Amino acid sequence: MSEILVVDDEPGIRDLLKEILEDEGYEVRLAENGEEARAARLEKAPDLVLLDIWMPDVDGLSLLKEWVSDELLTMPVVMMSGHGTIHTAVEATRLGAFDFLEKPVPYKKLLATVATALNSRPNRTARPVSLDPLGNGEAIAQRLRQAAQSNAPILLSGEAGTSAELCARFMQVPGTTFLAPDDHSPLSENPLDWLQKSKGGMLFLRDIGKLTPLQQKGLLLLIAKRGEYGVKVVCASSDNLAQMAGDNQYSRDLFNTLSHVAVRIPSLREHREDIAPLAEAALKEAAETQGLGAKRFTQVALERLSKHDWPGNMEELRALANNLAITCLVDEIGLAEVEAVLGSATKANAGALTHLFGLPIKEARDAFEKAYLECMLDECGGSITKVADRSGLERTHLYRKLKQLGVKSHSRNEA
């Protein structure tokens, strides 16, 4: 049962809030001034504090600052005031308050705010995300830990398929909100809505190189306001943003803002020593997910996988492991089985390239993209979400690209 500390110098308000909250099943402690609130916090940390701003001995904002500086702000605090202004509300959230309520507080708004604040509490028992699936985990983990200490937005750069979202989740405070929207269109409509939804947590935006100029302006606004909501903003891109900004194809202001704290995620071929254990782990996971018996690679097969360049990085490796787990009838997967998958893809790509060399560059590019997306749709069973993840394309951009190239899917699944 959650415990709420109500701090207010007016007895009538304290008693009313206590009655309402206890009727909803919460345990309630009361404090009539800042001194009692200090003592109550030191005695035992509540799950939530409803804190009045104007009190006779110390105002609520000063007490909030004190808890922050003493590292005692381990619970969400909702500020209350009967003389609230926009400036006061902004200042409260900037200092670390979860939300601001103006008195008299409407019954439904009170309960909704309390429920949301309690759900935002970090789960202290949650285990942090592991970077083991990336291989070479500790090397990049050190860079990510250092980046996470900064209050600045973070840019994760790397080739498609290098698991930027996994890196973002590694930097997330366990138990806090993690928002990773698929559609970027709200950036040009109401970007601050994402800050409200990810309040006190992390907002992860993938494929920001695909943003329209209007969406780039929305992202700049969002970054400027992130501190008011206590949100860590992490962006990812497989595009060369520096080159795009230099060619006036991307906002120079946005690139400069993001480049202060940037972490590059290495491709698989940059740490080939990890490919063999990663392949074994991916095959084991695929077999278990499909409910199949244990399968393993021979040493020769692992050596072949380690020599492959993996342009699709971890996503390509997982796809290959899943393919072999399902299609191979033997428990020990050897060189022949691996070559059948890698070799056929190499020959197909070579044949396609030979054909494209005789076309004008725009037609060659369109032909390649069409063949690539048709292949992706086939391998992903028509799932747009999976194709978007594997190709590194934002879903709205992917839909436009499919329509533009005339690519049809008989099972245009969303999942």
Could you tell me if 279 and 316 are in contact, meaning their C-beta atoms sit under 8 angstroms apart? no
Q: List, in sequence order, the alpha helices (H) in 233-334.
A: 241-246, 252-258, 275-289, 299-307, 313-327
Distance CA 344, CA 91 (A): 61
243, 176: one domain? yes
Q: Each residue of 240-286: pLDDT tens digit?
A: 999 999 999 999 999 999 998 999 998 888 888 889 999 999 999 88
Number of domains comprising the chain: 4
Identify the domain boundary among 231, 248, 266.
266
- As a dihedral over the C-alpha atoms of residue 302, residue 304, residue 307, residue 311, rounded to 10 degrees, the angle is -90
Domain containing 104 — which CATH number?
3.40.50.2300
The reported pLDDT for the residue numbered 218 is: 95
Q: Which two tokens stand for residue 246?
A: 């230099």
155, 66: one domain? no
Distance CA 237, CA 392 (A): 9
For 157-194, b/e burial (b = at least 16 CB within 10 A) is: bbbbbbbbbbbbbbbbbeebbbeebeebebbbeebeeb
Distance CA 80, CA 380 (A): 51
283, 323: one domain? yes
Distance CA 392, CA 92 (A): 39
Q: Which two tokens stand for residue 167?
A: 């890196």
- Whether 126 maps to a domain, the answer reads no
What's the domain range around 51? 3-119
Report the predicted TM-score, pTM, of the whole model to 2 decimal places: 0.55
Q: Each residue of 159-206: pLDDT tens digit?
A: 888 889 989 988 887 777 889 998 898 898 888 989 988 888 899 999
C-alpha neighbours within 13 Å on the C-beta side of residue 9: 14
137, 111: one domain? no
Residue 53, phi then psi, degrees to nearest 5: -80, -45
Q: Integer distance in angstroms from the first to the last C-alpha of the chain? A: 36
- Over the chain (415 residues), the average pLDDT of each successive run of 10 is 91 92 93 92 91 88 86 86 72 78 88 84 56 67 82 89 87 83 88 88 92 94 88 92 92 93 88 90 89 90 91 88 88 89 56 57 75 76 78 78 76 45
145, 259: one domain? yes
The reported pLDDT for the residue numbered 199 is: 85
Identify the domain boundary among 302, 336, 370.
336
144, 258: one domain? yes
The reported pLDDT for the residue numbered 142 is: 81
Q: Each residue of 360-382: pLDDT tens digit?
A: 777 777 777 887 787 778 767 77
103, 191: one domain? no
Distance CA 46, CA 126 (A): 19
Distance CA 312, CA 318 (A): 10
- Whether 124 maps to a domain, the answer reads no
- Whether 205 maps to a domain, the answer reads yes
Identify the domain boundary among 235, 266, 297.
266
| Beta carbons within 8 Å of 401's beta carbon, 6+ residues apart | 369, 373, 393, 407
188, 240: one domain? yes
The reported pLDDT for the residue numbered 246 is: 92
The reported pLDDT for the residue numbered 58 is: 84
113, 149: one domain? no
Distance CA 15, CA 94 (A): 29
259, 277: one domain? no
The reported pLDDT for the residue numbered 161 is: 80
Q: What is the DSSP letter of 382?
A: T
102, 139: one domain? no
Can you count the helices (H) and strands (E) in the chain?
18, 12
Domain containing 255 — which CATH number?
3.40.50.300
